[in-house]
Chains A and B, each alone.
Chain A
Amino acid sequence: MTVLRDGVEWAVYICLGYLLAVYGAFFAMIVFSAVEERLRRRRRRLESFTRVRHSELTIPVSIVAPVYNEAPVVAAATRSFLAVDYPEFEVVVVNDGSTDSTLTILQREFELEPLTRFFRKQYESAPLRGLYRSRTWPNLIVVDKQNGGKADALNAGLNLARYRYVCGVDGDTMLAPRSLLKGMRLALADPQRVIGVTGHVAINGEPEDAFDASGEPSRLDPRALLAFQHLDYLRSFFNNRLGWTRLNTMLCAVGAFQIWRRDVLEELGGFSTEFSCEDIELTFRAHERFRRERRAYQIVSLPDTVGVTEGPDSVHKLIAQRERWQRVILETVFHYRRMLFHPRYGTVGFVGIPFFVLSEILAPVFEVLALAAIVAGLALQAVSFEPTVLMLAALALLNGILTSAAVLLEDRTSRAYPLRDLVRLIALGPLDLFCYRPLIFWARAKGTWRFLRGDKGWHKFERNVRAAPQS
């Protein structure tokens, strides 16, 4: 019995040590994020978007959007891509073998007609079934191909993209009108160094309804599960990605909005189909290549919300999505493990990847250990009830602080969300530990288990149920 009690005590101390390390890392990253946000906000306080929009020096961009079974949102999403406020761009929508009416809706909404365009298949992809262009939108091309996964569809789109910058977006993401201008502003400030740009994408159950009259994302979904996901994204972007930008250790340019210099994609060989998800792997590959070759580069995150994407609106869909994300992180970090603490990879090896290992990979291990230690400790009376409750309260408040910091950074940049939504987000912060984290814990544990079993399936969450699109 004494051995068991000693074991439980040790487990509790180990978990406390982990908590100190992980929250220490989170708060340290917030400091870097705050510095970056302040700098960015100041730099663009007086800047005129109008001049950039009308300048011939602004480089054209190809938006590539892979879609798979996105019938309810594909028309609205494509319209949002076409409505982007940018001097010159094209939209390449890639239908990745959808089994629903995605292609039919695109054909009907955008008056598609067959197009024969000769192009070099520079990146491998599943065979194409057809190419279409719009009668009403001269800058829209739709590619219909056999199903091959998102990376495969992005590669097919890249084969047709014409411009020097490529913006990969998800088929269920609604872009804000100024998203490209904001993203390309950073790229154009230093085109030789900035090879990739990403930005915050908000979460909503029905993204097409999340914008205000000026086209800025500004509505929070009333459902709690979606609001918690919104918070999760806010923390991930404003607390972490801005800090990663400051340290030039951006670990994931998110698939929902990722601008890449075309020549870099070419050099890296396009998106890899070997991994469960393409975005994080490509970002790691870019770091690995540029750091190994000692070339100056930057992958940066915008302190802006550039669009709204659909989040899962039920627990099982959320778990399916997050389980995949956990697998993807494990796959990528395991694949690039040689970068960890390797001097050649600088901040990526010494800050970025260790941060990922600590906050994402080790989390399920310590969460299981902590849960087991608490249950066993209470049963064996090695841990008393009162301190346990106080510890949980402290953790809840720590999460509340992280959340409030993210909301503060976001609001200082955009001032877009109404005050009542800000209050709601802040109030949800401390509840996150009890209402949302257990789901993420379960998804991570499941994802880790599946990774260990070698599962590489996509397991895309089912589309949220909503009204059929208007014809």
Chain B
Amino acid sequence: MLPTNSLVAAVAALGAAWLCLTAWVIGGRLLTERNRRRCEADAGVLASGRASVRSFRSRRLWRLADGDLGAVSARAASELVRRDSPALLRKARRRGFGRVGALRVLARGRSHAAFAALREARADARPEVTAAVVAITAEIDTPSADRLLLELLVAGDHPRSRTATELVPRAPRLVDQLLALVAHADPAVRYWALMLLRHAAPDPRIARAAVLSSTDPEPLARGAAARALGAAGSAEQLHVLRALLADEVFFVRAHAARAVGEIGAYILAAEVAALLGDESWWTRAAAKESLLALGPAGLEAAEAMASDLDRFARDGAAEVVNGFAHAPGERLPLRLAGGGAAR
């Protein structure tokens, strides 16, 4: 069997390892709590005006500047930038995630070197650093920040949906740049440009760009074109939406159906109703939503599908009619249940 001495040594080593881990957990927690308390106290002092930001040591300022304390963080960051901008820049140029705090302080402190440092950090190619660059840039509401976010959207080295989320509130002032991206070689960029342009409507150029993109070879871009038409389209573009409703790709049809409902294009109600029998769940759901949004024309189109040969279409029509007839407190008849009740 195993020698007792070896076992004793193993137990001692394991005990030491367990104690070390325990110390790590408890020490880490105590340190975090102490920092939080000090940070809150310092923020209170600064906010109340009992002390000037210049009387704080850099370490205390750093805690405030790298926190989420709004104006207090900005004041602390500005003071740090004033005191030793070169040192901050050196920290911001380090490799890896360690640079993130310095980048944040530079950006919040409105350092002239902040954008150069952020761009440098972007080149780091570490996903967590790129995520931090997006988040830091999103805090700044300037044209330089807009440009950097757009660059990140185009490069795609951070999930584009996340970068686009940060760009949504800026979309109205970025129409020109976004319109230029509608012709980008990467279909994902074209998609996001059109999706963001939705938030910049009304602008006649957006509808024109969407019309052009409606024949894009990439379904992603065609789908986004439909969504853009939903926000910026008019009667002149209905023929484009009609074509998109018959697209070969299911999600393009779904986006087009939603767009019809969004702009209230009741003339297309019958085409949308035809999608109630679509092979894709998503398209069928979008068609139902759209018909409900179209009001009486949607109801009429749904009723016309009540006797369709396709069970999906019949059931979808019944759902839409039921949705229209629904009123609080009353039990509703299933007018169109027909042969496919609840199946």
Contacts and interface: CB of A to CB of B under 8 A. Distances in A.
Interface stretch (A290-298, A389-397, A433-441): A389-397
Interface stretch (A185-193, A204-212, A322-330, A334-342): A185-193
Interface stretch (A306-314, A403-411, A446-454): A403-411
B168 A57 contact: yes
Contact of B21 (A119, A266, A405): A405
A137 B333 CA distance: 23
Interface string B12-55: 00110110011011101110110000000000000000000000
Interface stretch (A41-49, A225-233, A354-362): A41-49
B116 interface: no
- B contact face: mostly helix, strand, loop, or mixed: helix
A24 B221 CA distance: 49
Contact of A51 (B18, B24, B166, B285): B166
Contacts of A119: 315, 319, 342
A401 to B, nearest CB: 5
Given A164-B282, A188-B162, A426-B22, A55 B168 contact: yes
Contacts of A470: none
Give the size range of B's interface with the partner.
35 or more
Interface in A257-274: 262-263, 266
B97 A55 contact: no
Contact of B1 (A12, A120, A401): A12
Interface stretch (A145-153, A213-221, A415-423): A415-423
9 contacts: A16-B2, A42-B131, A43-B128, A46-B100, A56-B168, A394-B10, A394-B11, A401-B18, A411-B28
Given A120-B319, A190-B159, 6 more contacts: A45-B100, A46-B136, A48-B138, A266-B281, A390-B11, A404-B22
Interface stretch (B87-95, B141-149, B266-274, B324-332): B324-332
A265 to B, nearest CB: 10
Interface in A239-256: none
B276 to A, nearest CB: 10
A315 to B, nearest CB: 27
- CB-CB nearest 6 A-B residue pairs: A46-B135, A397-B14, A42-B128, A404-B21, A390-B7, A118-B318
A48 B26 CA distance: 28
A51 to B, nearest CB: 6
Secondary structure of the A side of the interface? helix
A395 B185 CA distance: 59
Interface string A362-395: 0000000000000000000001101100110110
A285 interface: no
Contacts of B166: 51
A398 interface: yes
A262 B312 CA distance: 18
B330 to A, nearest CB: 9
Nearest to A12: B1
Given A39-B128, A57-B165, A383-B1, A422 B29 contact: yes
Given A42-B132, A52-B165, A387 B4 contact: yes
Given A118-B342, A119-B342, A419-B29, A390 B8 contact: yes
Interface of B: 1-2, 4, 7-8, 10-11, 14-15, 17-18, 21-22, 24-26, 28-30, 32-33, 97, 100, 104, 127-128, 131-132, 135-136, 138, 159, 161-162, 164-166, 168, 195, 199, 281-282, 285, 312, 315-316, 318-319, 321-322, 326, 328-329, 331-334, 336-337, 342-343
Contact of B285 (A118, A162, A387): A162
A407 B21 CA distance: 10
A57 B153 CA distance: 15
Contacts of A412: 28
Count chain B CB atoms within 10 A of each CB in A118, A122, A384, A408 and give the residue with the most: A118
A42 B7 contact: no
A44 B328 CA distance: 43
Contacts of B312: 120
Given A262-B281, A263-B281, A397-B15, A189 B162 contact: yes
Interface in A128-166: 128, 135, 162, 164
Given A120-B315, A422-B29, A401 B7 contact: no
A9 interface: yes
A58 B100 CA distance: 27
A231 B24 CA distance: 18
Nearest to B14: A397
A182 B334 CA distance: 39
B1 A263 contact: no
B128 A408 contact: no
Nearest to B15: A397
B161 A422 contact: no
Nearest to A395: B14
B18 A263 contact: no
Contacts of B132: 42, 45-46
Given A51-B138, A55-B165, A188-B161, A415 B282 contact: no
B38 to A, nearest CB: 16
Interface in A80-102: none
Interface stretch (A64-72, A109-117, A172-180, A459-467): A109-117
B302 to A, nearest CB: 11
A16 B7 CA distance: 13
A415 B326 CA distance: 47
B161 A189 contact: yes
A303 interface: no
A117 B322 contact: yes
B322 A118 contact: yes
Contacts of B333: 116
Contacts of B331: 114, 116
A430 interface: yes
Pick from B14, B166, B321, B329 the residue with the most CB of A within 10 Å: B14
Contact of B25 (A56, A114, A407): A407
A55 B332 CA distance: 35
Given A51-B138, A419-B29, A390 B131 contact: no
Contact of A401 (B14, B318, B319): B14
A294 B331 CA distance: 48
Given A390-B4, A429-B18, A135 B281 contact: no
A200 to B, nearest CB: 17
A45 B100 CA distance: 10
A400 interface: yes
A386 B3 CA distance: 10
A108 interface: no
Residue from B29, B104, B322 whose CB has the most chain A CB atoms within 10 Å: B29
B197 to A, nearest CB: 13
Given A120-B343, A426-B25, A46 B322 contact: no
Contact of A419 (B4, B15, B30): B30
A135 B328 CA distance: 8
A121 interface: yes
Nearest to A187: B161
A384 B343 contact: no
B1 A113 contact: no
Contacts of A188: 159, 161-162
Given A121-B342, A263-B281, A408 B7 contact: no
